[in-house]
Every structure is written in structure tokens, then in C-alpha cells.
Amino acid sequence: MGAEHATAEKVAAPVEAREQEALALDDASPEEARVLMLQRQAGNRAVTALLRGNVSPAVQRAISFDAKKLRGGRSWTKRLRTAFTGADTLGKIDNAFADYGAAATDADKLWYADVIIGLTDHWLEKHGQDTSQNQRRLDLTALGREARQEARLLRRKRAAPGDKDYLDKLESGGFKATNKQTTKSIVVDPAEDVAGGNTSPGVQGADERAVKLAAKYKLTAAEIAAIRLFTQPDYAYINPAAAGSASWLASNVQGAKDQALAQFGPRLARGAFHGAAVGWARGLKPVVAEGGEHATRLLHVLTRMDPYSGGIAYRGERLTEAVFNAKYTNGARIPFGSFGSAAKVRTVAEGYAAGRRGDLNVTTQQNVSYVAEIHVKTARDIAALSAAMTTEAEEEVIILPGTTFTVTQVIPLATPVDKGKPPAKHFYTVVMHEN
């Protein structure tokens, strides 16, 4: 059946068929109901365009999948049986793909791309472990991947100009301090998927939990991308930029493990940024500007989210004895001039205190290992969207700039068997309460 007929046929469907469709919707799971509604609404939009006669020539499609692969290896008997029982997911994918090919507008193409994503995900979840379906699994994985890319492109075209420019710069390497090789796959693509109500299978912080959080706060792809970027090594220049500290930025650049940020290190080592304040500002200006733009977006989205209700979070760090003794005394006020990352799980913070986590190299002079037990009131929970890839989930919350804490206890700890890397000499728990 031709694509145009497959679409137009929906208008002339008999009453009995429409009643059966309604019953199918009532009996469907939430995910199946979402897909059925998308199909119905998308079909109605396409039919309306046909009836009004405002169908323009189809533009080039991004999904180049061969639809014959959806039908191969299935007998007519099996196809008829699955269609009769309402379990013919492959048939639904085939129909959605045909309607996508006939779609005349970007809006309709987006509808069908989302339907294809939902259906392929449903099939893969149900049959992904069936070894007899290996080739079909590969085919549907490829189709789902193409449909996601199409949906991203179409949503990018519809995004607000400022958001589009931000995402374009992230993806193309227009932000010089970001790592172009990983930013697209880890930050941008998952952000656009989640903003569109889709998951990115196998990607940290882009599952159903992320989709629900994004829907709750109506987060845009650019806002999600800003959050995900901060959970990457980029925080090492975003935070100093937010705090307006060139010396902090220079220190982070010199100690960065991330290649994109470390590229500025040799210039600092050669003294290119040393000297007058004007020289520092000129040399670090590109990184400061980029960090400032990310920080502005991040602050804007975080202030729209509800405060973290868990009460306690943990931060681990390595400091020199001089810095630690000057900073952490009973009754001391600790201001956060930038964003502060903390974990819901203490063991995560202990990894940072040991020097085994994090994106900055620990020096032998930083021989004080401590975990801060932070009683928070206004921190924001971004765990569902975090892109941090670790063996143990970061479950990250962010402390907002301008937040202050009071140190209520500094507790010395016995020397552990594992002193960290490099080995620390002094170990503490610091208890702080938000003012």
C-alpha cells in the first residue's frame, strides 16, 4: 500500500475499527498508550494537510532505513496472527515509517519520528535478549538511532534562537574549552532526546527518570545540556568563571586531566598569562567568557527547580594543611562564590577525598583528606540528569552560588589503611549547616 494511501485510509476507517482502536488504547500500558496517541494525532495532522490541499513536495528525509527489513523473515500467517492479536509491533513500525515518508511538514515528520522511537524501543525491550532475532535487533537499533537523530534535527530547527545557537556551539566546538569529541554524544544528543520525551538507551542521566524530571520543570534541550555539561570536567572552568577568579581558573587549568581544558596549561607554564592583571584577563578571556555563559544558563534553570529535600549531602576534597586550617574551624562561615557539587552518598565523597575521583590532579602538598557533611536547605537535585560516568552513581546535588554555611564540627579521624593517592597525612570530617 502506498504511503499516501496508508495515511489517508485513517480518515475512512469504519466505526468498528475506530472502536477497536479505542479499546486497544484503554488496554494499553502507559508507554503503548503514548505511542498510540502519537500515531493517532500525527495521522490526523497529516490527513488535515491532505484535505486542505496544502501538501508541499517532501523534503529530503534523514531516515534512510530500508523498510523491507521490517517485513523480511515473517510469514503471512505470522503477520496476520500478530496483527489480529494487536501485538504486531513491527507492522506498526512499518506503518509509522510509511507515514513518516509521506509527511509534508517538519511538525508531522517529528510526530512520526517520535512514534518510531517509541515503537522500536518497545520492541527492543521485549525481544532484545532473543538470540534468534539478532539481525532484526541490529536493524531496529539502527532505525531507532536514525529516528532519534531526525527528531533532534527537527527539534533544533524549532528551538528558540538563543537555545539553538547554544546547542550549535556546543556541538560544533564553538566553545573552545569544551571537548568536542565527547560533548555531542554525552551532553547534546541526550539532552535533546530527553527534552523531547525520549530516552537515550545506555546513556547515563538520559533514562525515564530524566524524562520525568525534564517534563516536570518543562526543561529545554539547552537547559538540560547546561546541567549535563557541568557534571563533566567543564565544571573546572565554569566555577572559577562564575566566581570571577582568574587565579582559581589558572590553577584548575594547570591541574586538569581533561584534554580540552589542559590545552591552556602549557601557555600558563610558559608564563604567557603571568604578569599584569590585564595580561591575565586577556589570556584567560575566552575560557572565562565560555564559563560565564554556561554558568548563566545553569543558574537560570536551577532556580526554577525545587530545593533538594534530602537534607544532607557530602563533599570530598584534598587540601594543603595551610588552606584547610585557615578555612575549617568551629564557627567559621563558608561562602560558596560559585556552584558546589555534592553527593547524596558519602562513599562518593570519600573517593574525592582519597584523590581517586575528580577531574583535577592531586598534588603531594594536598595532604589533608576530608569529607564535608553538609546540611543543605536550598541545594538542587540534578542526579537524574547527571552525565557523570562512574562505577558508582554520583547522585549529585548542586549548591547555588551565594549560599553560606557555618562549620559546627571539625572531627579528626584515625588514619585509614588506604591513605589515598597520593597518600594523605591528615583525615577529617567537617560538619556544616546552611545559614
Decide: 375 and 311 in contact? Cβ < 8 Å: yes
Alpha-carbon distance of 160 to 163, in angstroms, equals 5
SS3 184: helix
Mean pLDDT over each residue of the chain, to the nearest integer: 83
Task: Indicate the SS3 state at residue 397.
Answer: strand
Residue 23 has pLDDT above 70, yes or no: no
Q: Give the residues across from 432 on adjacent strands.
A: 374, 407
- The answer to whether the CB of 379 falls within 8 A of the CB of 308 is yes
Q: Which of 344, 367, 375 is nearest to 428 (CA)?
A: 367
* End-to-end Cα, the chain, rounded Å: 68
pLDDT of res. 41: 53
Helix, strand, coil % in the chain, rounded to nearest 5: 55, 10, 35
pLDDT tens-digit readout, 37-79? 555 554 555 444 444 444 444 445 578 888 888 876 555 555 5
Q: How far is the C-alpha of 244 from the C-alpha of 284, rounded, in Å?
A: 11
**pLDDT band of 270, cuts 50, 70, 90:** low
DSSP 55-100: PPPPPPPS----GGGGTTT--HHHHHHHHHHT--HHHHHHHHHHHH
What residue type is 382 in one-letter code? I
Is it the case that residue 357 has pLDDT exceeding 50? yes
Residues 310-345 have pLDDT tens digits of 899 999 999 999 999 999 999 999 999 999 999 999
* Mean pLDDT of the 280-296 span: 82
pLDDT-based confidence at residue 273 (cuts at 50, 70, 90): low
Confidence of residue 115 (pLDDT cuts 50, 70, 90): very high
Average pLDDT over residues 13-25: 45
The answer to which of 6-10, 87-91, 209-213, 308-312 has the lowest mean pLDDT is: 6-10
Domain spans in the chain, listed from the N-terminal domain onward: 3-158, 160-305, 312-434
The stretch 389-406 carries a mean pLDDT of 85
Q: Residue 105 class from Cβ within 10 Å (0-12 exposed, 13-18 middle, 19+ buried)?
A: middle
- Quick one: pLDDT at residue 406? 98
Q: Lowest mean pLDDT: which of 4-13, 28-37, 78-87, 327-336?
A: 4-13
Cell triple for 70: 521490517
Q: Which backbone phi and psi does 430 adopt, to 5 degrees?
A: -115, 125
Distances 262 to 234, 237, 428 between C-alpha atoms, Å: 11, 11, 31
Report the SS3 class of residue 434. Answer: strand
Q: Hey, how many other C-beta atoms are within 10 angstroms of the C-beta on 361?
A: 13
The amino acid at 408: T
Topology (CATH) of 312-434: Toxin ADP-ribosyltransferase; Chain A, domain 1 (3.90.176)
Q: Pick left, alpha or beta for residue 182 (phi over 0 → left; psi -120 to 50 → alpha; otherwise beta).
A: alpha
| Cα 383 to Cα 313: distance, rounded to the nearest angstrom | 12
* 295 pLDDT tier (thresholds 50, 70, 90): very high
Within 10 Å of residue 37's Cβ, how many Cβ atoms? 13
User: Letter for the amino acid at 144?
Assistant: G
Assess contact for 186 and 232: CB atoms under 8 A. yes
pTM of structure: 0.81
Spatial strand order of the sheet with 396-399 comes to: 333-335, 404-412, 426-434, 368-375, 312-319, 340-343, 396-399, 380-381
The pLDDT value given to residue 73: 55
d(CA 402, CA 124): 46
Q: Which helix (H) or strand (E) holds 13?
A: none
- Using CB atoms within 10 A of its CB, is residue 96 exposed (0-12), middle (13-18) or buried (19+)? buried
Return the exposure string of 46-56: e unless at least 16 CB atoms fall within 10 Å of the residue's CB, then b: bbebeeeeebe
Chain centre to alpha carbon of residue 159: 17
- The residues facing 307 across adjacent strands are 380
- pLDDT of residue 117 exceeding 70, the answer is yes
Confidence of residue 257 (pLDDT cuts 50, 70, 90): confident
Cα–Cα dist 404/148, whole Å: 43
- Cβ contact 348:314 at 8 Å: yes
Instruction: Output the pLDDT for position 34.
Output: 55
SS3 (DSSP) at 132: helix
| Beta bridge partners of residue 373, listed in sequence order | 314, 431
